[in-house]
Amino acid sequence: MLTRTIPLLAIVSLVSAAPAQDRPTDAARRAAAEIRREALLPPNGPEGRPLPLVSHWNVGTVPGSFEPDHQIGLIQNGSHVLPWMSWPDGDPDSERFAEYHGRLLRYFAELKLPISFRGTQWEAMLVGREYRQGPESQWPGVIAPDGKRVPRLSPFGPTEPWKDPAGEYVDTPAMKRAQELYPEPPLVLFVSNNEAPDLRWAKHGPLEEQSRRYVERFGAGRSDEFKRRVVGEGWIERYRVMFDAMRAALAADQWKRNVRFVGYGAFGPSHFGRWDGWKVYSLISDKWTDPSWHVWDGGSPSYYTHNWNENRDHWVFSTQVESMNWLFMLEEAWQANPNFWFEMSTWDGNEVNRWMQGLAVEDPEKLAAASARGLPPDARDVDPKLVAKSKTLQYLVDGQTYPPERAAGWVQFGLWLLRPRVVREFRGHATPLAPVKPYWLETVKAVDRVYTSELLSEFWRHGHLVPNPSREHPWQTDIPEKYRDIPRWYLLDTSLDPPAPWTEKTTLPVFSLALVQGEKPNRRWLLYAHSPLEERSAVTIDIPGHGEVTIDVPRAGVFYTVEKSHRPVRIE
């Protein structure tokens, strides 16, 4: 074990160097035990679904962003955080390394917490200049039919170079020091951005016109189904080579045993069935809906209201509707890999742009007040060019506000629909914490709420999501036959539903779902509902297997328990 190679005095100095404010509180120790327990449970073991954890993509290396003080403070207060850090690099003897990685790893080691590192897309290095100038037989990228080297990774290139990221990112002094500081973590997640430039089977044109190697190996005239399958098989082979090499390059035995590779977006297509070209942006085949769970140990698909497209949190074209497609895919993933780590990344589509950054510096109190209302202090001061970069400003143009409670309702719907291991919020690496903190803390509260309510914990672990057979999912284009009869619609009917037919821009006033426990006649239901645009009173919701109930629905979302012959009981 690596721990035997560390002198005792060095270990003592590492522990004693911790600042006084980093000495774990009783609340932190209680939360750490719960975090550790839930992180190590199997996805579907006897104890049911593991309770969720909360984490982040912003690793706090930019002053004023999600710095270590903030993350440690959350844990000290008892929140259920999956610790996150930047990738260890540079000089491990530097002050920068000591103040960031040294401090965090000492604190996490004291509490025996699982940890996660935000990595880059490690394989992107393989299409860099060094490889472009090397022999063609060692070029991992695309070779076009005319012999030109295209800087996109190829699923048909040599596999040997895929071992090289291990030396670049893992077999380094900084990563070795990280293992010395915390030699026996119970779980280590290497979380990749997973956005390396790569060959797409159809997005950039017919595969025969993109890849000479594909034509040499398979010839022309193959079906789209065949092309998607062989591209997926190629990625499976190459990513396994890379992950095996990265694991082997770790110095500590406990890290080798406990590391898991999680990819952003490494999951099936949420746009499944949305339009007639949806398969162009997928690798669906007769072998899988997506090859990701044959490649990665886990995936973190994006539950995003993107700022670059028209989706809204109150339309049919919404994250709430599209993510219902992931439920049958998750079952497929667990069949292929029973330990597949499923988490979700969230983003409300808001960048902290130049206007917000300037205001944050000039008048932080004014900005905090504006954020609480969900709109800028004076919309006339906003550069119209920034509207396209901010979902909040798009809502403002629509005549709406976006306060933190609206974001809370939206996040909780995804959380209870999917019941992921982790909800990992995205913000850009330089995003200041102050303007987005009220929104982020709603996500933290949504996770902690599952632990503080025994009833919510029980439904999370053992409840069954209730499909709604009265409607079918609105996206039904070119669905493969084997998926045509599986449940994909979980939104419950309400008294406020608009008349059919719905379009993608149809507003759904209330989003609601239910989980059920028990058998007839002793069933009980957990009902969750949120109203993105305004508070709603006396909304009637039809729960399949139970019938109609009438409740009030706030923007922030609400939980009720429902039993036969009883009025719904609100969970505070």
CATH of residue 144: 3.20.20
How far is Cα 572 from Cα 554, in angstroms, rounded to an integer? Answer: 13
Q: Is residue 446 located within the same domain as residue 401?
A: yes
Q: Is residue 395 located within the same domain as residue 474?
A: no
| Closest to 507 in 3D by CA, of 546, 533, 530, 528 | 533
pLDDT at 21: 80
pLDDT at 16: 40
Q: Is residue 201 part of a domain?
A: yes
Could you tell me the pLDDT band of residue 571, with boundaries at 50, 70 and 90?
Answer: very high
Q: Is residue 18 part of a domain?
A: no
Count the Cβ atoms, other than its own, within 10 Å of residue 491.
23
Q: Is residue 553 located within the same domain as residue 439?
A: no
DSSP 384: G
Q: Is residue 368 located within the same domain as residue 506?
A: no
Q: Is residue 378 located within the same domain as residue 438?
A: yes
Q: Is residue 245 located within the same domain as residue 294?
A: yes
Q: Is residue 472 part of a domain?
A: yes
Residue 423, token pair as written in the block: 């909800």
Could you tell me the pLDDT band of residue 357, with boundaries at 50, 70 and 90?
Answer: very low
| Closest to 304 in 3D by CA, of 292, 317, 287 | 317
Q: Is residue 275 located within the same domain as residue 348?
A: yes
Q: What is the pTM of this model?
A: 0.92
Q: Is residue 66 part of a domain?
A: no
Residue-averaged pLDDT of the chain:
92
Q: Is residue 242 part of a domain?
A: yes
> If you write DSSP's letter for every residue of 155-180 in order, what string do you get?
TTS-SGGGGHHHHHHTSSHHHHHHHH
- For the ranges 4-8, 122-126, 379-383, the lowest mean pLDDT is seen at 4-8
Backbone conformation region of residue 262, classed left if phi is above 0, alpha if psi is from -120 to 50, else beta: beta
Q: Is residue 286 located within the same domain as residue 368?
A: yes
How far is Cα 313 from Cα 82, in angstroms, rounded to an integer? Answer: 27
Q: Is residue 107 part of a domain?
A: no
pLDDT at 62: 95
Q: Is residue 335 located within the same domain as residue 266?
A: yes
Number of domains in the chain: 2
Q: Of 462, 495, 529, which one is at a domain's C-terminal end?
A: 462
Q: Is residue 359 located within the same domain as residue 488?
A: no
φ, ψ of residue 38 to 5 degrees: the values are -70, -35
> If you write DSSP's letter for every residue of 313-360 in order, what string do you get?
TTBSSSHHHHGGGHHHHHHHHHHH-TT-EE-EEEE-SB---HHHHHHH
Q: Of 431, 462, 493, which one is at a domain's C-terminal end?
A: 462
Q: Is residue 397 part of a domain?
A: yes
Q: Is residue 492 located within the same domain as residue 369?
A: no
What does the CA dihedral 304, 497, 492, 474 come to, rounded to 10 degrees?
Answer: -60
135-188 tens-digit pLDDT:
999 999 999 999 999 999 999 999 999 999 999 999 999 999 999 999 999 999
How far is Cα 90 from Cα 159, in angstroms, rounded to an integer? Answer: 28
Q: Is residue 434 located within the same domain as residue 506?
A: no
Which range of residues forms the domain containing residue 439?
A: 115-462
Alpha helices, DSSP H, located in 80-206: 95-97, 103-111, 129-132, 164-169, 173-181
Q: Of 462, 482, 501, which one is at a domain's C-terminal end?
A: 462
207-264 tens-digit pLDDT:
999 999 999 999 999 999 999 999 999 999 999 999 999 999 999 999 999 999 999 9
Q: Is residue 56 part of a domain?
A: no
Contact 557, 513 (CB under 8 A): no
